[in-house]
Amino acid sequence: MQACHTSDLHTHSRASDGTLTPAELVQRAHQQGVQTLALTDHDTLAGLAEARQQAQSLGVHLLTGVEMSCVWQGIGIHIVALLPNQQDLGKLNAHLIPQEAARQQRAQQIAERLARTLAPKPEREALTAQIWQQAQEYAQGTSLGRPHFAQVLCDLGYVTNQRQAFKKYLGSGKVGDVKTNWPSLAEATQGLRAAGTITVLAHPMRYRLTQRKRSHLLQAFQAAGGQGLEIVSGRQEASQTQQLVKEARALGLKMSWGSDFHKPTPWQDVGRFSPLPASITAEESILHWLH
């Protein structure tokens, strides 16, 4: 079940791995009735200026945000960081510079690995260059991600759609699933806090952890200074939402939510995600800190 929400605190634009430009994303959010929107592209603030200009023209309250990659016990974890004001943008940008360099290095490795898998040795160098060039064209100067490479694989005829590209080459454990030297959960959380942001552990159910291990993750996040938990991310079972509400309350974590929007689909759109429990109080909401 999906519900229409007036706030969406987790979205992506073409500045990272979304399909809409930042301006198009804000326009769509406005059309969907979203009044408070956080642009949280992966490890970059590149789309912020364009999104802010559009938001001001439409009367949408735009929050500065980012989704930062990190590692905990060998598992890739994402932190959504939300900035209540603009005075610390410089600190946040500086904190993200190593992330962008790591993403660039990772993208180069993805191109090389795909070429090694898809072509005989004499043709690999040329195919690497072709994959790299076409992926950059799709990225249009923004951070390169696996969806860009998925589209290249479609164009070159190795797969028929992006879903197949991830299933065969880019998904978890596949040749294009390159592990990056991300900072630890503690380093990322503490750095984001120092930059003035409010830190939220993103989509905790998607890490496929046991309840016990997820509990350890949340405790580690809180111990590092983490402040919030994403209790709804896109479409999920009501039982999962209730469990996350319980876990957030047990640790005193503020509650956040969002669509994790990347592209318009029938099952996941900006401002369209599973219902929030009516029992959440204003003081428990992350919005209480952001307004």
pLDDT in tens, 58-104: 999 999 999 999 999 989 899 999 998 766 688 898 888 888 888 88
Query: How many CB atoms sit inside 10 A of residue 15's CB?
Result: 24
Alpha helices in the chain (DSSP H): 22-31, 48-58, 89-118, 121-139, 146-155, 162-165, 185-194, 211-223, 238-251, 287-290
pTM over 0.95? The answer is: no
Which amino acid belongs to residue 173? G
Q: Where are the domain boundaries for CATH 3.20.20.140 in the chain? A: 3-96+188-290
In the CATH scheme, what is the code of domain 3-96+188-290? 3.20.20.140
Distance, first Cα to last Cα, the chain: 29
Torsion sign across C-alpha atoms 109, 113, 116, 118: negative
Give me the tens of pLDDT residue by residue for the chain, a chain 291 residues long.
Answer: 678 899 999 999 998 888 899 999 999 999 999 999 999 999 999 999 999 999 999 999 999 999 999 999 989 899 999 998 766 688 898 888 888 888 888 899 999 999 999 999 999 999 999 999 999 898 877 778 888 999 999 999 999 999 999 999 998 889 998 877 889 999 999 999 999 999 999 999 999 999 999 999 999 999 999 999 999 999 999 999 999 999 999 999 999 999 999 999 888 899 999 999 999 999 999 998 886
- The whole-angstrom separation of Cα 210 and Cα 284 is 25
**10 touches 260 (CB < 8 A):** yes
**37 touches 63 (CB < 8 A):** yes
Torsion sign across C-alpha atoms 208, 236, 22, 60: negative
pLDDT for residue 1? 64
| DSSP 8-state code for residue 42 | B
**82 touches 197 (CB < 8 A):** yes
**275 touches 3 (CB < 8 A):** yes
